[in-house]
Structure formats: C-alpha cells, structure tokens
Amino acid sequence: MDDSRIRRQIEEHFAAPQGLDATPEDQERSAAIYADDAVLEFPQGGERIRGRGNILAFRSAYPARLKLEVSRTVGGGDLWINEYTIQYDDGVPMMVAGIMEFEHGKVSRERIYITEPWEPPAWRSKWVELMG
C-alpha cells in the first residue's frame, strides 16, 4: 500500500468523532484502520487490548467526550507516528504520541503515550526556547 493511501486512512481514523459524541457508525469508521488481530497498547498504564473487536468495544464504551487535534503525522511504509492533543470532556488538553505499525494496509500494533503538560522550570530557561 502506498504512503498516500495510508496517510488518508490515518486522517479518516482521526476525523471520526470519539467518545460520547460518536455514533456506532463513527466508531466503525474509526476502527476500520485496524487489522482483525491488531494490538493497542498504553505503556504508561501497562494495558494491552487485543483484537479489532475489543478495540472497537473499548472505544464505543468510552465514558467521556473526547476532542482530538492532530498536529503532525510522519512516517512511511509500515511505520507512522501521530502527534496530537487529547482533551477529555472539558479538561486540560494532554500531549499524545502514537506509533502505528501497519501490515497489509492495516494497523497491526499501536502504542499510545499520553502526558499532561507542565510548567517549564526556571533553572533551565537560559537554554530553552518556549514553543508557541
């Protein structure tokens, strides 16, 4: 599968509404990117979800409104990285890095890392340029 087609799949995956605002059709559209035996991992929580059906069920049962804003997608071939923010209900947006591994045009493994923003410490300010 060529890179432009994979990029389009990733864009469609993130364009579908998530959480409480998602319809079953939205959830199906979002889950279409995963292989039947895909694995979704959240290393910070030590969690692993096996299978497209379980990924779909997990996301369909999500008890909050989610707002995703993709800032960058980079990659090629079978390895793609997505950087985005996620906001649960009206909470503080958190930074996310997600690694997608593709096999035969579908995601076979995805690892998602989520972190809360922090105030930069003053001690390192002379070396740091603040990002907008």
Residue 52: strand, helix, or coil: helix
Return the top range by mean pLDDT from 17-26, 92-101, 123-132. 92-101
Q: What is the mean pLDDT of residues 73-81?
A: 98
Q: How far is CA 73 from the centre of its chain?
A: 11
Distances (CA, A) of 101 to 33, 127, 130: 11, 35, 32
Distance CA 24, CA 28 (A): 6
- Domains of the chain in sequence order: 3-116 (3.10.450.50)
Q: Is the model's pLDDT at 132 over the cut of 80?
A: no
Q: What is the mean pLDDT of residues 32-40?
A: 98
Distances (CA, A) of 53 to 28, 32, 65, 78, 125: 10, 11, 21, 22, 47
Residue-averaged pLDDT of the chain? 95
Stated pTM of the model: 0.92
Look at residue 21 in the predicted model and tell me its pLDDT: 87
How would you write 75-129 as a 3-class SS string? EECCEEEEEEEEEECCCCCEEEEEEEEEECCEEEEEEEEEECCCCCCHHHHHHCC
Q: How crowded is residue 10: how many other Cβ atoms within 10 Å of its Cβ?
A: 20
Of all helices (H) and strands (E), which one includes residue 38?
strand 34-42
